[in-house]
């Protein structure tokens, strides 16, 4: 997955890059009558090309890593909540207990993801990297 963005900050051997969010509408804003405004987000990318603040760059993340992260972030919490609901339903005849168990499992999963995301990363497997400086 490749995206084009602008370097907004340098952090050691990494760069914070602001990229435009893509959406399902195709991003053909000039001919669209939808009235939405394009949004942007930032990502941290390995800066092996020594890009400077203000440079337009092309950033790459492997498609496999992107799909795996999307699965972990979106699908896995739902599967854990469903599993917690089913286990609680087997152990208790009260559906409120099962409902609460599912919500608690979902919240705990998201809290764990948040904490793990804040830990220092030793692997670059899931990292974006700058592959070209455009200007």
pLDDT in tens, 106-134: 999 999 998 988 887 776 667 888 999 99
**So what's the pLDDT on residue 27?**
56
- Taking Cα atoms as reference points, which of 54, 58, 19 lies closest to residue 38? 19
Of 92, 16, 107, 27, the C-alpha closest to 54 is 16
Confidence tier at 30 by pLDDT (50, 70, 90): low
Read off the pLDDT of each residue in 7-28 and give the average, rounded to a whole number.
80
Residue 88 has pLDDT above 90, yes or no: yes
* pTM score of the predicted model: 0.66
Going through the chain in order, the beta strands assigned E by DSSP cover 2-11, 14-20, 40-46, 56-60, 128-133
The mean per-residue pLDDT over the stretch 76-95 comes to 95
pLDDT at site 107: 97
Give the whole-number percent of the chain exceeding pLDDT 70. Answer: 84
What token pair was written down for 7? 């370097």
Q: How far is CA 59 from CA 1, 15, 28, in A?
A: 8, 10, 21
């Amino acid at each position: 997955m490749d995206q084009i963005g602008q370097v907004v900050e340098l952090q050691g051997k990494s760069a914070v890059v602001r990229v435009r969010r893509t959406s399902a509408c195709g991003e053909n804003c000039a001919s669209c009558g939808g009235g939405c405004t394009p949004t942007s987000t930032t990502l941290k990318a390995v800066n092996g090309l020594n890009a400077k603040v203000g440079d337009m760059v092309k950033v790459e993340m492997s498609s496999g890593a992107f799909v795996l992260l999307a699965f972990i972030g979106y699908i896995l919490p739902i599967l854990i909540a469903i599993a917690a609901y089913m286990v609680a339903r087997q152990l208790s005849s009260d559906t409120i207990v099962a409902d609460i168990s599912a919500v608690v499992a979902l919240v705990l999963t998201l809290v764990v993801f948040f904490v793990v995301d804040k830990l220092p990363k030793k692997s670059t497997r899931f990292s974006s990297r700058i592959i070209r400086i455009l200007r």
